[in-house]
Amino acid sequence: MKSVNNNNQPRYSRSAQTSPQQPRVQQARIQQSHPPQRPQQQGSTKQSRAAHQTPPPRRRPVKRGIPAWKVTLAVVVIFILVLIALGASYLKFYRPSVDTDVPFDIETTTPPEVTTTPPDDNIVETTNDADDTEDIEAGAFTRDTESVNFLVVGRDAASWNTDVIMIVNFNMREGSLSVMQLPRDTYIEADSRIHGRINTVMKSMRSRAYDEDSTLSDEELLRAGMAGMCELLEKSLCIQIDGYAHVDLAGFRGIVDAIGGVYMDVPYAMQYSDPDQDLYINLQPGPQTLSGSEAEMFVRFRSDYVQADIGRIDAQKIFLTALFKQLKTNLTVTTVPQIVEQVVKYVTTDVPLADIIIYAKELLGVDMNNVSMMTLYGTATQTETGAWYYIMNRASTLDMINTYFNVYNSPITDEIFDRTQAFTDEESAIFTSIYNASPDDPAVEVKPDIMTGEEIDNGDLNIALH
């Protein structure tokens, strides 16, 4: 009889039954022999597929060239360096070219030759006319190309008068600098138009150029005036002028400010007021650095000097010496662009830039003891009409020209110097007496010592005051 359980399920025999843990053990064995496979992720599938595919061939890295802009930049840099090297080499060996022609008349008059013998039919008397002339022996006036002269003038803002007139010699071989100042009231006579004070010469030459061509620009008229003034001084003083420089008051102030002012010892208190000229001077004595405006006050002051304009010229010597010392001491790469800017704006010159660089380089090596400052010898005198003029002394001026400003191998003789007597009025007894006097004659009142820059810097130049 079959037995039925309560769950209506057949009851198995003991041999057919297993223990409760048996299915788990068998399941574990099955899992060990056939481990279940986990579902593969998408990435794994791609890797599996990729493993069975043939890998693509490797690309060799492409060698990229240097960018074009870098090549261009390198070429430009190399080109600039080459130009700098060539420029430096050029300036090292470059020497300014100078005019070797003689700009004044060197023809001399041969004295008459007279033969005095007893009458004889076999002797023929020979004479030369007094007006026969001969040229100085060829080669007698050979130019020294290392010695150059310049005309430097300063003009005020109100007119075209040049109240500062200097002839400057720079001897590069000897390393010397010589400055001769011509008083603005110096008498000069060239023709009916140029007849009076020397400070009006440039203005007269400028006006003459305008009359000949009214279409000329202001700069062209200025250059024509300076060129005419140079020519007149060359022929009269028998000197070669290799270039000119013209500066107005604004340029003077700008140049002083560009170098950071000029340190100097102002010897006296300076007080002056002139509303008509818009000139107001107020300087206290003592060591100080003058700005451009203050430097203008110093060089224009004259009211308290016993010799008036001559005293002002001596004061300008003091300033020029201090300026030169300042440039030698403080000229740097930083200040050069400022100075060049002022020169371009305010100075008119016919000297090429390359020459200016050479001269500036050589000038910085000049010792203060080799700087000579002098004033044209002469006397200030008053005419019957009440006009004041400064009359040049011929003999002393000729000596200064030969000593400091003659660029030739032969001396300037009295016979050819100021051949037309442009620096006197032959109809004036007062003028001619001063002009033709011996340098030691009491008629020559102004006999300034020729002083070195070192002496002036040491305070040896004294200006007499009222």
pLDDT band at 332 (very low <50, low <70, confident <90, very high): low
Candidates 275, 250, 13, 89; CA nearest to 154 is 250
Total residue count of the chain as it appears in this document: 466
Query: Once rounded to an integer, what is the mean pLDDT over residues 265-289?
Result: 93
pLDDT band at 339 (very low <50, low <70, confident <90, very high): confident
d(CA 409, CA 287): 44
What is the percent of the chain with per-residue pLDDT over 90, rounded to a whole number? 55
Q: pLDDT at position 236, please?
A: 97
Q: pLDDT at position 125, please?
A: 47
Domains of the chain and any CATH numbers:
147-457 (3.40.630.190)
Q: Which of residues 167 and 357 earns the better pLDDT score? A: 167
CA triplet 92, 96, 99: central angle to 5 degrees? 160
44-93 pLDDT, tens digit per residue, is 555 555 455 666 666 665 556 667 665 666 677 776 666 555 554 555 56
Contact criterion met (CB below 8 Å) for 449 and 381 = no
In one-letter notation, the amino acid at residue 341 is E
pLDDT band at 132 (very low <50, low <70, confident <90, very high): very low
d(CA 179, CA 289): 24
366-416 pLDDT, tens digit per residue, is 999 999 999 999 999 999 889 999 999 999 999 999 999 999 999 999 999
Residue 241 has pLDDT above 70, yes or no: yes
Candidates 158, 153, 164; CA nearest to 313 is 164
Residue 12 has pLDDT above 90, yes or no: no
Tell me the average pLDDT of the chain: 82
Q: pLDDT at position 114, please?
A: 47
13-58 pLDDT, tens digit per residue, is 444 444 444 545 455 454 555 555 555 555 555 555 545 566 666 6
